[in-house]
Amino acid sequence: MNRMLVVVFDDDGKAHEGKEALLQLDRDGRISVHRYAVLSKHADGSATVKQGSDAGLLGTLVGSELGSLIGLLGGPAGVAIGAAAGLAAGRVADHKNARIGQDFIDDVTRVLVPNRVAVIAEIEEDWTAPVDNSMTALGGSMFRRDLSGVRHTVDQ
């Protein structure tokens, strides 16, 4: 099942370990990681995308559900990243175009407070246990949303 996954960590080191654990699960064939980014939220509330699945595909990344979520969570910095990638900033900031439910964004922003780091990924998983076990062991707070359910909610 295709899902949007957000895992919030206390620091860069744990986020890096979380990203590597997701990629290892992908290499092992337990999940598929389609795209990912590591987002750091600063003390002033701005955010920076620290890493992505492919810097050459940043425009594609920002145009997807993943990029839209990054833009919404990142505030002005996320919108600037979208604009720099050649997309209209309004599209990135527009909740309806993001196809991510406001309740999901609200849940994530409650935990992604300043000085925390999130690994955001679009994944495909048949069961949640491999990701849950890996991320919990690293101290991450997980949020996931089924992408088909997100699209259906927005369409309604």
Whether 73 and 112 have beta carbons less than 8 Å apart is answered as yes
d(CA 48, CA 57): 17
Cα→Cα distances 31→37, 72, 94, 119, 124, Å: 16, 26, 30, 15, 6
The pLDDT-based confidence of 84 (bands split at 50, 70, 90) is very low
Give the residue extent of every domain in the chain: 2-155
Structure-block tokens of residue 18: 């979380």
The strand pairing partners of 146, in sequence order, are 3
Task: With a cut of 70, say whether residue 10 has pLDDT above it.
Answer: yes
Structure-block tokens of residue 134: 């890996």
Alpha helices in 85-144 (DSSP H): 89-93, 95-98, 102-111, 129-137
- Residue with the bigger pLDDT between 148 and 89: it is 148
| pLDDT (tens digit per residue) in 106-155 | 777 778 888 999 898 889 999 999 999 999 999 999 988 887 654 444 45
Q: What is the mean pLDDT of the chain?
A: 73
pLDDT for res 42: 82
Task: With a cut of 70, say whether residue 72 has pLDDT above it.
Answer: no
Contacts of 88-97 with C-beta under 8 Å, sequence gap 24+, read: 91/63, 92/62, 92/67, 92/68, 96/154, 97/68
User: Which pTM does this prediction carry?
Assistant: 0.69
pLDDT for res 49: 77
pLDDT for res 73: 58
pLDDT for res 132: 96
Whether 83 and 89 have beta carbons less than 8 Å apart is answered as yes
